Amino acid sequence: MVGVSLKNRPARKPALPQLPTAAEQGYADIDAGGWISLMAPAGTPPARIARLNAALHAAMAEPAFADWVRANGSELLPSSPEACARHVERELARWARLVAAAGVRLE
C-alpha cells in the first residue's frame, strides 16, 4: 500500500449543487463516502514503496492538482503506507459486516 487517499467530503458537490447531502436529508450518521488509495503488488520492495509515496505526496502538494481535487468534491489525505493499509483493512471489515447484516448474496 502506498499512503495516499482521496476521500469524498460530506458537502454538496460543485457539479451538482442542487443535490442535498445525506445529512441534509436527515441521515447524519451515514458515512459512505468513496475513497481511493494507490496500491502496489504484494512483495514490492519497501524502498520502492517509500519512493512512490514521496512522489505522490509531492504531486498532492502541487496547487493545481490540489485545487482540482477539491473543486471536484474530494479532499487529499496524504498518509503513510502503514496508515493507508490500516484504513483499507477497517473499511473492508466495516463493509463486510454491513453486507452480512443486510443478507446480501451474489446470485
- The DSSP annotation for 58-105 comes to HHHT-HHHHHHHHHTTEEEEE--HHHHHHHHHHHHHHHHHHHHHHT--
83 near 3, Cβ under 8 Å? yes
Question: What is the distance between the alpha carbons of residues 2 and 49, in angstroms, rounded to a whole number?
Answer: 6
What is the structure's pLDDT at 2? 55
> In 3D, which of 58, 51, 50, 98 has the Cα closest to residue 78?
58
Residues 6-10, mean pLDDT to the nearest whole number:
60
Question: Would the pLDDT of 1 be above 80?
Answer: no
> What are 57-81's pLDDT values in tens digits?
999 899 999 888 888 777 788 888 8
Beta bridge partners of 79: none
Question: Would the pLDDT of 37 be above 70?
Answer: yes
Residue carrying C-alpha cell 490540489: 66
Instruction: Give the torsion sign (CA, 26, 28, 32, 37).
Output: positive
The secondary structure of residue 37, as a DSSP letter, is E
100 pLDDT tier (thresholds 50, 70, 90) = very high
> What are 14-28's pLDDT values in tens digits?
777 898 888 888 887
